[in-house]
Structure 1
C-alpha cells in the first residue's frame, strides 16, 4: 500500500462522503453487477457483437 493511499484513507475517515454520494456509488456498483450477472447467465447477445474488421495486432487499417 502506498503512503498516498493511507493519506487519502485518513482524509476520508476525517471527512466522510455524504450519504447521497455513498448511495450514488452503491447504485453504480449494483448496476454493474446486474449487467455482469445478466451476461453470465444469458450470455452476450449476437446483435451487440461487432463484425471484426481484422487488423491483427495494431488494429484495422483504413
Structure 2
C-alpha cells in the first residue's frame, strides 16, 4: 500500500465525509446498478445504446 493512500485513509478517519456526501454516492451507485439491471433485462431502449463499431472507426 502506498503511503499516500495511508495518509488519505488517516484523514478520512479524522474527518469523515458528511451524511449528504454519503447519500449522494449511494444514490449514484443505486442509479448505475438500476441502469445495468434494466439493460440486462432488455428494457433499455435501443436508441440509448452505443454502437461499439462506430466508436472504433473514429480512432485513427
- TM (norm. structure 2) is 0.72
RMSD: 2.5
**Per chain length, whose mean CA-contact separation is higher, i.e. which structure has more relative contact order (CA < 8 Å, sep 6+)?**
2
Structure with greater Cα Rg: 1
Structure 2 unaligned residues grouped into runs of 5+:
none
Which structure has more helix as a fraction of its residues? 2
Structure 1 unaligned residues grouped into runs of 5+:
none
Question: Could you list the runs of 4 or more consecutive aligned residues of structure 1 that deviate by over 6 angstroms after TM superposition?
Answer: none
- TM (norm. structure 1) is 0.70
| Number of aligned residue pairs | 58
